Amino acid sequence: MCETCGCGDPDVVPVEVRESLLAGNDRTADHNRQHFAAQGVMAINLMGSPGSGKTALLEATAARLDGRQRLAALSGDLATDRDAARLARAGIPSLSITTGSACHLDARLVHEALHELPWQEARWLFIENVGNLVCPAIYDLGQEANVVALSVTEGEDKPLKYPVMFHKADLVVLTKVDLLPHLPGVEIEVIEDALARTMPEPRVIRASAVTGEGIDEWLRWLEGRQADSTAVAASGEVVAGG
């Protein structure tokens, strides 16, 4: 106590927190993940630079499926709902998440959007993130897998320049490969080598939304990933039940 007036001396108290500053986001992401699992919907966080071909990949996906699978999409952009409108025209029920100045989607933005989109009927929900190779990588949205669209026109060293994004990728879809004949300086092997230095388990599909190359392989990857996650969930239930 203060001896002069008795007002009480302050104590400096150390508080050990030792918690991630993303813990709040991660809790919301887990909540989203539980919703997806309960409905049997596989959510894919689709990331990549602006113009890397994320929307075109989804359009090509819908065209190839031709209504055989139900899809849904959330599309994040700083402004406009142009991507969501394109996806809706391709037959994918879509909603735009307009982030204003925010450079990434977070779990809360996705959670709020889930109340506005009839995603429960879909088999696959694509969350098309804001075009950006930096910020989206660190925010868990509750997805089953991270997919990065990397176009062959972006430069061979992008994986080395943005290692956090590519380290988090479960799959890289190398887009616009139909342009390779016009890009004499670009060697696809160099891009794949850069990916092998940033992804512990590099998985790459070469694709073109224009020619349709790689789209079947992409669909098989989605099928396989969903089968694996369903198997893991089933074995988890057995353990939990036993």
Partner 1 sequence: MHEYSIVQSLLDRVEAEAAARGATVVHRLRLQIGEMSGVETALLRSAYETFTDRSICAGADLEIVPVAVRWGCPACGTDLPSGSALRCGDCGGPARLTAGDEIVLERIEMEVPDV
Structure tokens belonging to residue 47: 């990331």
Please report how close the Cβ of residue 92 comes to partner 1 at its closest, in angstroms.
27
Distance CA 126, CA 52 (A): 16
Please report how close the Cβ of residue 203 comes to partner 1 at its closest, in angstroms.
11
Structure tokens belonging to residue 114: 């889930």
CA–CA distance from 72 to each of 26, 41, 49, 113, 170 (Å)?
A: 23, 10, 21, 12, 20
Q: Which amino acid is at 68?
A: R
Residue 27 or 220: the one with the smaller Cβ distance to partner 1 is 27
Q: Does 18 bind partner 1 (CB under 8 A)?
A: yes
Q: Does 119 bind partner 1 (CB under 8 A)?
A: no
Structure tokens belonging to residue 99: 């982030």
Query: How buried is 105 (Cβ within 10 angstroms: 0-12 exposed, 13-18 middle, 19+ buried)?
Result: buried
Distance CA 96, CA 127 (A): 10
Binding mask 150-189 for partner 1 (x = CB under 8 A): -------------xxx-x----------------------
Q: Does 5 bind partner 1 (CB under 8 A)?
A: no
Please report how close the Cβ of residue 191 comes to partner 1 at its closest, in angstroms.
16
Distance CA 59, CA 82 (A): 13
Q: Which stretch binds partner 1 (CB under 8 A): 14-22, 29-37, 119-127, 220-228?
A: 14-22
Q: Which stretch binds partner 1 (CB under 8 A): 43-51, 178-186, 197-205, 207-215?
A: 197-205
Residues in touch with partner 1 (CB under 8 A): 1, 8-22, 24-25, 102-104, 106, 134-135, 137-139, 163-165, 167, 196-201
